């Protein structure tokens, strides 16, 4: 009973205290077990076909790949952690929270469209936004917008290869999709977690 008064009076704090599925990450979960089983089966098939040399070749190649990716993963996680500390929770909750309405979805869409970098940047930033008070809808709009509209990939890859007409029409057609995905995310979240909804 003493916890209820602490949660009810401050909606901005609710956004950070509300239970979000998957926020507490365990090192070994069902997905890790499935991946480990698939790795073991694949390694066995490679070993039967190519022997131990084939397995070792793949292992050394993947360890080198992991070593190259690890600094970017670390940088992305640090970026997300620093953003979560820097951003003012009340302003984020007001602009991107559950009560932000269409404006929050549009802000999330615009932010995702201009967010530079790859997944090592986008997903830690999205996680940081959830931590500081953004709701599922605005964060979904941001991630979908980064995926579909992201100007960095459009300028660097799509424009030179596919041409101006294709790129512009693809962006115009994609514009409403992040907003629709964010609205659907809010709709589903409120119904799946009614106690966490405002």
Complete DSSP assignment for 77-89: HHHHHHHHHHS-H
pLDDT in tens, 26-78: 767 788 889 989 999 999 999 999 889 988 999 999 898 888 888 887 887 78
pLDDT of residue 198: 56
- Compute the distance between CA of residue 120 and CA of residue 70 in angstroms, rounded to an integer: 10
> Would you say residue 19 has pLDDT above 50?
no
Q: Are 145 and 113 in contact (CB under 8 A)?
A: yes
Could you give the percent of the chain with pLDDT greater than 90?
30
> What is the rounded CA–CA span in Å between residue 139 and residue 105?
8
Average pLDDT, rounded, for the chain:
82
Task: Report the candidate in 189, 107, 174, 165 with the shortest Cα–Cα distance to residue 144.
Answer: 174
Q: What is the pLDDT of residue 24?
A: 60
Q: What are the pLDDT digits (tens) for 96-109?
A: 888 888 999 999 99
């Amino acid at each position: 009973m003493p916890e209820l008064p602490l949660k009810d009076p401050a909606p901005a704090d609710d956004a950070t205290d509300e239970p979000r599925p998957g926020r507490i990450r365990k090192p070994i979960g069902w997905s890790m077990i499935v991946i480990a089983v698939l790795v073991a089966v694949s390694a066995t098939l490679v070993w039967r076909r190519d022997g131990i040399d084939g397995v070792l070749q793949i292992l050394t190649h993947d360890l080198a790949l992991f070593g190259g990716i690890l600094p970017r993963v670390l940088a992305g996680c640090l970026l997300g952690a620093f953003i979560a500390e820097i951003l003012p929770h009340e302003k984020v909750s007001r602009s991107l929270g559950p009560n932000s309405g269409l404006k929050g979805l549009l802000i999330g869409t615009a932010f995702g469209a201009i967010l530079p970098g790859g997944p090592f940047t986008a997903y830690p930033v999205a996680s940081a936004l959830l931590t500081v008070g953004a709701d599922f809808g605005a964060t979904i709009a941001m991630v979908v917008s980064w995926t579909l509209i992201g100007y960095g990939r459009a300028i660097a890859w799509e424009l030179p290869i596919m041409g101006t007409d294709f790129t512009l029409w693809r962006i115009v057609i994609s514009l409403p999709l992040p907003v629709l995905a964010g609205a659907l995310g809010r709709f589903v979240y409120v119904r799946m977690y009614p106690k966490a909804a405002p």
